[in-house]
Each structure stands twice: as C-alpha cells, then as structure tokens.
Amino acid sequence: MDDLLAARSQMAMSLAFHIIFAAVGVAMPLLMIMAEGMYIRTKKIVYRELAYRWSKGTAIIFAVGAVSGTVLSFELGLLWPTFMEHAGPLVGMPFSLEGFAFFLEAIFLGLYLYGWDKLPQKIHWLCGLMVMISGTMSGIFVVCANAWMNAPVGFDFIDGQFTNIRPWEAMFNPRWFTMTMHMTIAAYQSVAFAVAGVHAWMLLRDRNNPFHRAAIGIALVVALATSIAQPIMGDFLAKNTAANQPLKLAAMEGQFETEHRAPLRIGGMPNVDEERTNYAIEIPAALSFLAYGDFNAEVQGLKDFPRDEWPPVPIVHIAFQIMVACGFWMLGVAALGAILAWRARAVPQQRWYLWLLVVSGPLGFLAIEAGWTVTEVGRQPWVIYGFMRTADAVTPMPGLIVPFTVFSLLYFVLSVIVIYLLRRHVFQSPTTQQIHFYQAEDAGNPEKLNEESKDA
C-alpha cells in the first residue's frame, strides 16, 4: 500500500466511523425531547423513562463521536497539510462556527445527561432542544466545508495560489444548501429507522411492552417525515450536482455518452474499458428530466471529460444505486407504517411489520455510508474540485500504513464495545410491570427509578 492510498484509506475509515456517531449525536436529541415533551404533556412515566434510557445510549455514542471528530480535525493537517495550507482560510469560517456549535452541543449535553435531577423539567427539556439545534448546526457547518471542496469558490486562483479570499462566498458556495440539507435529513432518517428497528426487535420478544411501543411511535413519526422529505431534497441535490459537477453526475448515473433524452439507469455495472454501463434497467429520457427538468435536455457523459479526471466510476455508480434503493425502501416502510397506524389508530403491532422494521433498521446508516461514498469518491481525483489533486495534498510523512492500521484497529475495538454496551442497555429495558409500577409510584425521579429497576 503506498502512502497516498494509506492516507486516503485512513481518512475514509475515520470519516466512515465518525459519520455514524455524528448522525446519532445530531438526531437522538430530537427523539429524546419528543419523548420528554410527551411526558411533560401527558405525565405518562413511560415517556420519561424512554428519554432517560435513550440519553444513556446517546452519552456513549456522543463521547465516541466527539473524540473521533477531534481525530478528524487533526487528520486534516496530519494527512493533508498541503490541502489545509491552501484551503484552511477558505474553510475556516464554517469550521470556526462549527467549533462554537460543538461547544454549545457539548455544554448542553452535559447539562442534559447529568441534570435529570438537578434542573427543573422544562429547563431540562430546553437543554435537550439546545443540544439538538447546536448539533444540527454543527453538522451543517461541517458539510458546508465539504461542499466547498466540491464547488470551490470565493477566491482568485493566480499562479497556483488561492488569493483574494472571500470567506462568506466560500462558505455559501453553490453546493452548500442542498448538500447540508440532504445530510441533515439523512441523519434524522437513519437514526429514526435504527431506533425503530431496535425497539421492534424488542417488541417481538415482549409483545405488549408499552416502553417499546412508545419508542416505535416516536421513531416512526420522524421516519415518515424524513422519508418523504429526503427524495424531494435528493432531487434538488441531483439537479444541483448536474449544474455544478456534471462529471460526478455522469459517474453516478453510469452515463458515458453525451446525449439528449438520456435514460435513467437502475442498477447496472459500468464497464470503464468498454465505456458503457451493462445490465441496467433503462428508463428512457428520465435522467434528462430528473437532472434538468426537460426530457430533451442534453446530459454530459463521461467521455466529454479527460480520462484522468474521471472518478472511479463503478464505485460511484453502485454506491449511488445502493443509496437510492435504501431511500425508496425506507419511504415504502414508513408509508406502510403510516397506513397501518392510521387504520389501527395506534402504533403498528403486526409481527410481519415489526420484522420489516427490524430488517430496515440498518438501512439508513447504509444509505449514509453509500451517499458519502458517492460524494467523496465522486470528487476524486480532486481534493479541491478542479484546483488541487488529492495526490498533491498528501503529507510527505512516510510509513502511513502504520497510523492507518493503528486507527483501524482502535476503531474496530471501539465499535465492538459500543455495540456490546448498547445491546446490554437495550436488554435492560423496563418490563411492562415495571412501567406500571413506576406510573403508580410516579416518583418522577428517573435516577431513583433506575435503581429500583436494577433491584427488580
């Protein structure tokens, strides 16, 4: 493995790891304040218990997310010093704002996690709201920086130097809005499905448990809203990609020829040597319409661009297909849940539907990883699209396979421990009797409730 590949692998691995924890840190606060808000409104103890139990799992994930995010902020410099030397001032604004958002997120998370019995209920709820807002903002700022790498603006490029820098123009580059919204919705959507999946699995073992039913109810609301919003946002994003990075769009769609009435390809395997995409289901003229709103529009194909600027086409195309498939699957599952819930006037209970939720649990995270692959691999061979190649940005440091191996092992061990601990936390969910008991007691102090549930 040469050093460039090792550096790219380490960056990819670090991001792939962090993105899951970051999404949970962004989205879980919404589910927690929904549950806690339900408790404040209805005084049903099951909701407060839910918010409290969720907050414990979130605490583990947030901590790992915070430290793996720190790793990334250093890795930008450790692995790509040349990139940062030039891009630092251009992405500095979103990263500075992200610093503040993350500050607020960490402060209010501390208040939320350790303030259950120290803060008045409504103040506690407000702290949760602040975690959600600042977490979401923090994600948006980071993706703004990434959007700039895809649509670099806000400078004049003179003699290989980035001069006359305009930080706000760089931050609000042509891609910032669609990319940040797409990622934000994805975070909420993936976490909603993961939560629904976990609790559906538990509900299958303990059919009448109100704790898991309440959890699925809250998760499905978020799942439905995001599953509807995401394809709409995805369409905006695709049009934005077509306008700003036509080469990336061509790779995503496996479009080699420049043509009018370009077809939309579902599935298929791009063959770069033959310059064609095989085995795809083609819907005539649909790509022209989706990308430009006109069935006759011309879509630029890969062949229009120099071969050495192509990203790895098969990876980008297949990752894109996976992401879209997951998105439509989740839309179907959420819509089905809405119909079932509407007919029963209650959270869906059918065994087959609960199994469907279990199966769909990981799909949101899979879609995030796939979508992130599309945008990052699709940007190659550039680190700053059209201006600096990834190969020119890497550190001169030799032996980069060593840190890559060390961090891979470290993250692997962490993943195993996190999954193990979350599994234990899930299996310690309260039973139906415990919930009834708490409700009767209505002690209103979850710390105390927790001790009782340990005894029980």
Partner 1 sequence: MPELSYIVAAVVVIAMMVYVLSAGADFGGGIWRLFATGPRAQLQRDRLNAAIAPIWEANHVWLILVVVLLFSCFPRAFSAIMTALHIPLAAMLVGIVMRGSAFAFESYPAGATRLQKRSGRVFAVSSAITPFLLGISAGAVASGQITINAATGIVQTNFISEWLAPFPFAIGAFLLALCAFLSAIYMTVEVRNEPELADDFRRRGLWAAVAVGVFALVSLLLAKNGAPFIYHGLARGGFAIFFQIITGLSAIIAIGALIKRRYRLARFAALAQVGLIILGWALAQFPYLVYPDLTIQNAAADPVVLKPILIALAIGSLLLLPAFYYLYRVFKAGKTLSPEPLEATVSDDK
Q: What residues numbered 426-455 form the site for partner 1, per CB under 8 A?
A: 428, 444-445, 454
For residues 51 and 219, the answer to whether their CB atoms sit within 8 Å is no
Least distance from C-beta 230 to partner 1, angstroms? 30
Site for partner 1 in 356-415 (CB under 8 A): 395-398, 403, 406-407, 410, 414
* H helix count then E strand count, the chain: 16, 10
* Residue among 21 and 382 whose Cβ is closer to partner 1: 21
* Residue among 61 and 313 whose Cβ is closer to partner 1: 61
Examine residue 142 and tell whether it contacts partner 1 (CB under 8 A). no
* Residue among 40 and 338 whose Cβ is closer to partner 1: 40
Pairwise CA distance, residues 79 & 100, whole Å: 24
Least distance from C-beta 129 to partner 1, angstroms? 13
Site for partner 1 in 62-81 (CB under 8 A): 62-64, 66-71, 73-78, 81
Widest pairwise Cα distance in the chain: 75
Least distance from C-beta 85 to partner 1, angstroms? 4
Examine residue 84 and tell whether it contacts partner 1 (CB under 8 A). yes
Examine residue 314 and tell whether it contacts partner 1 (CB under 8 A). no
* Residue among 157 and 292 whose Cβ is closer to partner 1: 157
Q: Alpha carbon 326 to chain centroid distance?
A: 13
Element containing residue 259 per DSSP (H, E): strand 259-260
Question: DSSP letter at 44?
Answer: -
Q: Where are the beta strands (DSSP E) in 116-212?
A: 156-158, 161-163
Site for partner 1 in 97-126 (CB under 8 A): 97-100, 102-104, 106-111, 113-115, 117-121
Residue 91 tokens, joined: 């992405």
Examine residue 12 and tell whether it contacts partner 1 (CB under 8 A). no
Three-state secondary structure along 292-311?
A: HCCCCCEECCHHHCCHHHCC
Least distance from C-beta 309 to partner 1, angstroms? 26
Least distance from C-beta 91 to partner 1, angstroms? 7
Pairwise CA distance, residues 237 & 176, whole Å: 10
Give the total of residues touching partner 1 (CB under 8 A): 76
Examine residue 1 and tell whether it contacts partner 1 (CB under 8 A). no
Among residues 425, 432, 439, 452, the one that binds partner 1 under rule CB under 8 A: 425
* Residue among 99 and 381 whose Cβ is closer to partner 1: 99
Q: How distant, in Å, are the alpha carbons of 77, 85, 86, 262 from that of 393?
A: 10, 9, 10, 36
Element containing residue 57 per DSSP (H, E): helix 45-79
Question: DSSP letter at 270?
Answer: E
For residues 285 and 263, the answer to whether their CB atoms sit within 8 Å is yes
